[in-house]
Structure 1
Amino acid sequence: MRLILAVLLLFALPAAVHAEPSRAEQTMMRTVEAEHDRHIALLERLVNQNSGTLNLAGIRAVGDMVRAELEPLGFAVRWVDMGETGRAGHLVATHPGRGRNILLIGHLDTVFEPDSPFQRFERDGARATGPGVGDDKGGVVVIVAALRAMQAAGTLRGSNVTVVLTGDEEKIGSPSSLARRHLIAAGQAAAFALEFENLALDDGAEFGTVARRSSTNWTLTTTGRTGHSSGIFNDTLGYGAIYEMARILDGFRRDLPEPNLTYNVGVIAGGTPAAIDTEGVNATASGKTNIVASTAIARGDLRTLTAEQDTRIRAGMQTIVDAHLPRTGAELVFGEGGYPPMAPSEGNIALLERLNIVNRDLGLPEMAAYDPARRGAADSGFVAADVDTLGGLGVAGGNAHADGEWVDLDSLVRQSQRAAVLISRLSLGRE
């Protein structure tokens, strides 16, 4: 009986509606295809200009290249200097129109600083490698290609579009409230937000990103009484800093497991003494086997899917920290700012369905929602609390953040076509 009911319900569902692309949308598709070589050349120029997050001049140079693409399309482009946060700045471009405001999000920086050996764009057929070729210079080119197609089709004229390309997505400036105030304001003013990080892939299938987890750093410091190791565990010396550290970290692992939650430990040191540098990257320690450790330090990150989960897990971590072993102490400090989660809201899911309507109309594969536990944090998290947001609209590729980062250049065509039609429909109202 249950099987029969399930079959009846299946047939009762409305069939997927397929509509022919409008004349303007057909023009967009042809324009993207005709300009493919142009956009590959743009991608090559962007990639060959180093823009590691700390290369401030390089980031501004990439911003100038993008400015030269957007201003001829009628965008008012400005550079927002972020010297007060220790970063280069952001490019903000606006195109007023009668339509609903669509926010397009990407970033100019990469993880590859000037001292990296991985510096140049290389092409082998439909495959290209290079620093930031997918994350996120390929996404920036998708934005440019989509907007050019919209201009050729006449839909850009009435569309209301804001582009925010940050210059420090890979290593956000501090304080983050200052570093992201322009992006947050743009999100609050938008009807929809589209983020152009890498397209999610799994075994050749393409997915939509309706959720991303947060990313927040934490530092745990434990202390203990030091002395001769023969006295460890007694009432005078207690357990020492390293045992206290081990208790807490294992408590996180044992007591707080749940879906979409991780707390990685990236660096740890313990001894008498132990210390970590101001960047939280290099830890040092010294000690002997017959000395009870006085100090231990660990740094890691916390990733959660919702604001509620984040608040609850932080409290749970603190409860574990506070249950000290005898004669020890511990302090848990969360880093300022970080990336908030992009929670999987009903609005985000509905936005993916709008993209899938575009996919059906253009004869492109539909996309399921990607597992958020398999995606990193992104700038979309700063706007998702205020506006329906869809991510992962950049190019298809792999090996991001590593030598050999690559993209499928053919995906630049279909992603730009999808984006051009989706932006036009969202802004001008066609469902």
Structure 2
Amino acid sequence: MLRFLMPAALLAAAVPAHAALTAPERRMVQTVDAERERHIALLQKLVDQNSGSHNLAGVEAVGRMVRAELEPLGFQVRWIPLRETGRAGHLVATHPGRRGGKRLLLIGHLDTVFEPDSPFQKFVREGDRARGPGIEDDKGGDVVMIAALRAMQAAGTLKAANIEIVLTGDEEDTGKPVALARRDLIAAGKRADVALDFEGLAQENGQDMGSVARRSAGGWTLTVSARPAHSSGVFAPGVGSGAIYELARIVDTFRRELREDKLTYNVGLVGGGQTAALDEGQIRLAASGKTNITGATAVARGDLRAISQDQIDRTRAKMQAIVAQNLPGTRAVLSFDDDTYPPMPPTAGNLALLDRLNRVNGDMGLPAMGALDPLKRGAGDISWVAKDVDGLVGLGAASTGAHTDQETIDLPSISRQAKRAAILMSRLAAERR
């Protein structure tokens, strides 16, 4: 008999797909594949219900849709109304499992940036892609979460899993005071051993990426005042530089002198003249003045994003030092918003979770996922629990055009992400605390 050695490449190709998965894990994969159209139908239902952050009734309606998915899986679901914050509230669902098992916190949100007056309102499918308001951020993530939990139930791994879900109703525009608006999420983080965030999957050059860090997000306001005078005397003793020159000096010095790795600082709104006043929401500014009068007041609003609290504190101190070096005849005051989103630094625990996800990828025959640069991701709710629990971000679906009328989801990514999440959650939930 002729004998030969099979080349390594052919030998690898001969190994069945998902050969490293257990029988329950293969069942999860099969369940997700079998329910693909169900997931897409649910996504359409969620997207077609407007749930802009300020549409309180719409956010509540989406919460009821999600409740209808979770209760049949054995979750105890409650709605926490928070209308006193100016927002609808949050959905919290708990699934008690095996005593002593790891406690998982799943995070997502019900609201979108698209309010009822937006012309972008409906789900439109285009083959393997679909467009719609909030279709990825975060309704696609909510569907991935539900699909993964359904797969766990079908495979028998959900029964023993200790899971708490918090779906906020104001992630895109947090209610005030923020301490009340994030009270329940923070409390859930203190109870958890692992936090998994189902916002969108990041990709680079077509490759899926894992996220182990998110930067902070917070606003600042700069207000400059000066004595108005005839413009012919500008810069002269007794007149000085005027408020607008002082504001320009400050923000340009920010630009030149604050730079650090992972730090960004933007000026998003500016105005000055004889008068300059922000509206109540601090997103509009009314100014008036004449060319022959030096500026009496000037105002700027911006944001600051950092990777750690130390970087925030250091940068704020530098900003205040720059502001204090006033040009002649001017006075400047810099204040920081009190609703700053905290940072989620790339801790060793977070990196270990990404390693766990990559073991799932390897067992599924998928490429390993690198760690996304946090400069390429905005702030998010998981940051509120980052100081208390290890976390991983980006378990939702892949998309393009988030926060625009071209927000488009990659439909096959829903299934890919649901399989990853179901297997990862099942493995984590089976571990002892």
SS of equivalent residue, structure 1 residue 165 = strand
- The equivalent residue for 1:175 is 177
1:298 positional shift = 0.6
- The equivalent residue for 1:15 is none
Which residue of 325, 328, 341 maps to 1:326? 328
- The equivalent residue for 2:250 is 248
1:267 aligns with 2:269: yes
Aligned partners of 1:94, 1:316: CA distance in 2, in Å?
44
- The equivalent residue for 2:7 is none
SS of equivalent residue, structure 1 residue 413 = helix
Aligned partners of 1:180, 1:67: CA distance in 2, in Å?
20
Which residue of 393, 405, 420 maps to 1:418? 420
Q: Which runs of 5+ in 1 are unaligned?
A: 1-17
- The equivalent residue for 2:97 is 97
TM-score scaled by length of structure 1: 0.95
1:112 aligns with 2:149: no
1:43 positional shift = 0.2
- The equivalent residue for 2:216 is 214
CA offsets per residue over residues 351-378 of structure 1, 9 Å max, x none? Answer: 0000000000111221000010110000
Which residue of 144, 149, 152 maps to 1:150? 152
Aligned partners of 2:406, 2:284: CA distance in 1, in Å?
26
Taking the TM superposition and a 5 Å limit, the aligned residue runs for 1:119-130 are 119-130=121-132
- The equivalent residue for 1:293 is 295
Task: Tell me how large the CA RMSD over aligned residues is.
Answer: 1.0
CA offsets per residue over residues 291-314 of structure 1, 9 Å max, x none? Answer: 000000111110001111011111
- The equivalent residue for 1:31 is 31
Matched residue type, 1:333 = S
SS of equivalent residue, structure 2 residue 396 = coil
SS of equivalent residue, structure 2 residue 277 = strand
Aligned partners of 1:359, 1:104: CA distance in 2, in Å?
20
SS of equivalent residue, structure 1 residue 80 = strand
Percent identity at matched positions? Answer: 61
TM-score scaled by length of structure 2: 0.94
- The equivalent residue for 2:6 is none
- The equivalent residue for 1:7 is none
CA offsets per residue over residues 23-57 of structure 1, 9 Å max, x none? Answer: 11010000000001001000000000000000000
Residues 334 and 19 (structure 1), Cα distance of their counterparts in 2 relative to 1, 3 Å cut: farther
Aligned partners of 1:407, 1:95: CA distance in 2, in Å?
29
1:68 aligns with 2:68: yes
SS of equivalent residue, structure 1 residue 97 = coil
- The equivalent residue for 2:191 is 189
Aligned partners of 2:141, 2:332: CA distance in 1, in Å?
43
SS of equivalent residue, structure 2 residue 133 = coil
Matched residue type, 1:325 = L
Matched residue type, 1:380 = I
Aligned partners of 1:77, 1:316: CA distance in 2, in Å?
46
SS of equivalent residue, structure 2 residue 368 = coil
CA offsets per residue over residues 391-425 of structure 1, 9 Å max, x none? Answer: 01100111000001001000001100000000111
- The equivalent residue for 2:88 is 88
- The equivalent residue for 1:21 is 21
Aligned residue pairs, count? 413
Q: Which runs of 5+ in 2 are unaligned?
A: 1-17
1:19 positional shift = 7.1
Aligned partners of 1:189, 1:56: CA distance in 2, in Å?
28
Aligned partners of 2:323, 2:260: CA distance in 1, in Å?
19
Which residue of 160, 163, 168 maps to 2:162? 160
SS of equivalent residue, structure 1 residue 145 = helix
Aligned partners of 2:180, 2:239: CA distance in 1, in Å?
45
Taking the TM superposition and a 5 Å limit, the aligned residue runs for 1:323-402 are 323-402=325-404
- The equivalent residue for 1:198 is 200
Aligned partners of 2:103, 2:374: CA distance in 1, in Å?
26
1:338 positional shift = 2.2
